[in-house]
């Protein structure tokens, strides 16, 4: 029931309110992730948004018909590739930072 209402929301509200609600949802997810790292774990991770940026930039490169790659994939076709690339970036950054705490973690993730 809730999923059906959520899927029909753009038809009921229109384009602009739907885009605003999508942006609100994206920023809420980013805030929840930051709350887990900073609030619950007590670690000041200043590079939290970098992974969001890697995913967004990779999505733009893969889905844009005017990008240098000229792939023009659909969002759903690009999604698994974006997840893998962002995950590999996270592993690449996390490997040297894994045992750092406090100020050292904040400086490295800056």
- What separation in angstroms does the CA of 68 have from each of 71, 76, 92, 99? 9, 20, 25, 38
Q: What is the pLDDT of residues 66-91, one digit of tens each?
A: 767 677 888 899 999 999 999 999 89
Burial of 62 (0-12, 13-18, 19+ CB in 10 A): buried
Q: Using only C-alpha atoms, what is the Rg of the chain?
A: 17
Q: How far apart are CA 19 and CA 64, in angstroms?
A: 19
- Closest by CA to 63, choosing from 49, 50, 82, is 82
Asked if pLDDT for residue 10 goes beyond 90, the answer is no
Asked if pLDDT for residue 19 goes beyond 70, the answer is yes
pTM above 0.85, yes or no: no
Q: What is the pLDDT of residues 26-54, one digit of tens each?
A: 889 888 888 888 887 777 777 788 888 99
User: Of all helices (H) and strands (E), which one includes residue 103?
Assistant: helix 102-108
């Amino acid at each position: 029931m809730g999923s059906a209402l959520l899927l029909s929301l753009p038809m009921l509200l229109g384009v602009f309110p739907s885009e605003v609600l999508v942006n609100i949802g994206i920023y809420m997810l980013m805030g929840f992730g930051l709350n887990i790292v900073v609030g619950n774990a007590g670690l000041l991770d200043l590079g939290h948004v970098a992974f969001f940026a890697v995913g967004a930039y990779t999505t733009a490169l893969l889905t844009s018909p005017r990008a240098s790659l000229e792939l023009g994939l659909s969002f759903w076709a690009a999604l698994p590739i974006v997840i893998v690339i962002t995950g590999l970036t996270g592993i690449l950054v996390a490997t040297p930072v894994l045992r750092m705490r406090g100020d050292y973690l904040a400086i490295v993730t800056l």
